[in-house]
Amino acid sequence: MQPSKDITRLLDIMAALRQPETGCPWDVVQTFETIKPYTLEEAYEVADAIERGDMDDLCDELGDLLLQVVFHARMAEEAGDFAFGDVVEAITRKMIRRHPHVFARSDADTPEAVKLQWSEIKQAEKAERRERRARHGLPEDANKGHLGTVQRSFPALVEALKLQERAAKVGFDWSSPEPILDKIEEEIAELREALASDNKAKVADELGDLVFAVVNIGRHVGTDPEMALRGTNTKFRRRFSHIETALEAGGESLEGATLERMEELWQAAKAIERQLT
C-alpha cells in the first residue's frame, strides 16, 4: 500500500488496521473512550503548531487530527451507526445551511447579520434534532437548560469561558472589568483564609473560584484565557531553559543550584527578553 492524497487511501488503511484477524493488535482493541484522549491531544498539537508558526508541523498535525476523525468513523461503521461519508455529508449539509448568504439568497451582508442568522439557524437545527430523537424513541439530550450546550468535556478553562459567554447572553454578566478585579481580590482573600484553615477541600473550592474570576476578566478584555495561559507556559519554558543552559555552561546542575541562583538567572532571562522587544 502506497501513500496517496486521496482520502480513500486513508479510509482503506484504517479499515485494514481494524481487521480482527490481520490488523494491528493495538488498533483492533481500541474504543471511542480509549481513543478520545488522543483526539484531544492531537487538537492541542494542531494549536501548538499554529502558535509556533511551523507550517511543516501544522501539515503533519492536521493529518494526525484527521486520522482521529477517520478512526472514530471506522469504529462507528463497524457498529452499524454511521460511516465517514455520513460525517462528510452531515458537515457539508450544515455548512451550506448555515451560509445562505453564500449558497442561497440572503440579506445577511455584514458580520453582525451573519452571526445573528447563524444563531437562528442553529436554534432551528436544535429543534429538529429534538423532534428527530423523539421520532426514533431516543432519550432527550442529557444537557438541558441555557447552559446545556456547553460541553463538560471541554478543558476547564474553555468550559468556564463558554459558561460565562452563555450566561452573558441573557444579561447575567458584569458591566465592566473593574468589578471583576474587585471580585478577584475578594477570591484571593477567601483563598488566604482557606489556606490558613488547612482545609484542602476548601482550598480547592476557593482556588476554583479565583481561576473562574480570572477567566472572566480575560473574557471582558477580549483575551482568550486558554491562549493567554498557553503563551505564559511557552514563556515559562523559554526562561527555564535559559536557567538550565546557563547552569550547564557554568558546570552547575539544576539539582545542585540554589533557589537564589535560579532566580538570578530567571531575572537575566527576563532582561534578555526586554532587550529583544
Domain count, the chain: 3
For residue 163, tell me if it sits in a domain: no
pLDDT of residue 23: 96
Residue 256 has pLDDT above 80, yes or no: yes
User: How many angstroms separate the CA atoms of 61 and 46, rounded?
Assistant: 5
User: How many angstroms separate the CA atoms of 15 and 9, rounded?
Assistant: 10
Contacts of 205-209 spanning 24+ positions with Cβ under 8 A? none
Chain-centroid distance, C-alpha 68: 15
For residue 158, tell me if it sits in a domain: no
Residue 35 has pLDDT above 80, yes or no: yes
Within this chain, do residues 27 and 93 fall inside the same structural domain, yes or no? yes
Residue 143 has pLDDT above 60, yes or no: no
Within this chain, do residues 97 and 202 fall inside the same structural domain, yes or no? no
Average pLDDT, the chain: 91
* DSSP code for 181: H
User: At 35, which CATH number?
Assistant: 1.10.287.1080
Residue 141 has pLDDT above 70, yes or no: no
Structural domain for 78, as ranges: 7-135
User: How many angstroms separate the CA atoms of 111 and 118, rounded?
Assistant: 10
Residue 69 has pLDDT above 90, yes or no: yes
For residue 145, tell me if it sits in a domain: no
Within this chain, do residues 217 and 231 fall inside the same structural domain, yes or no? no
**Residue after which a domain boundary falls, among 106, 135, 164:** 135
- Length reported for the chain: 277
Percentage above 70 pLDDT, the chain: 97
pLDDT of residue 129: 77
Higher pLDDT, 250 or 155: 250
pLDDT digits (tens, 9 = 90+) for 166-191: 999 999 999 899 999 999 999 999 99
Please identify which residue in the block is written with the cell numbers 507556559: 233
Within this chain, do residues 38 and 102 fall inside the same structural domain, yes or no? yes
User: How many angstroms separate the CA atoms of 212 and 218, rounded?
Assistant: 10
Within this chain, do residues 205 and 245 fall inside the same structural domain, yes or no? no
Cα–Cα nearest to 36, from 7, 69, 78: 69
Within this chain, do residues 89 and 131 fall inside the same structural domain, yes or no? yes
Q: How confident is the model at residue 258 (pLDDT cuts 50, 70, 90)?
A: very high
pLDDT of residue 87: 97
Higher pLDDT, 152 or 88: 88
What's the grid cell of residue 191? 483563598
Within this chain, do residues 12 and 131 fall inside the same structural domain, yes or no? yes
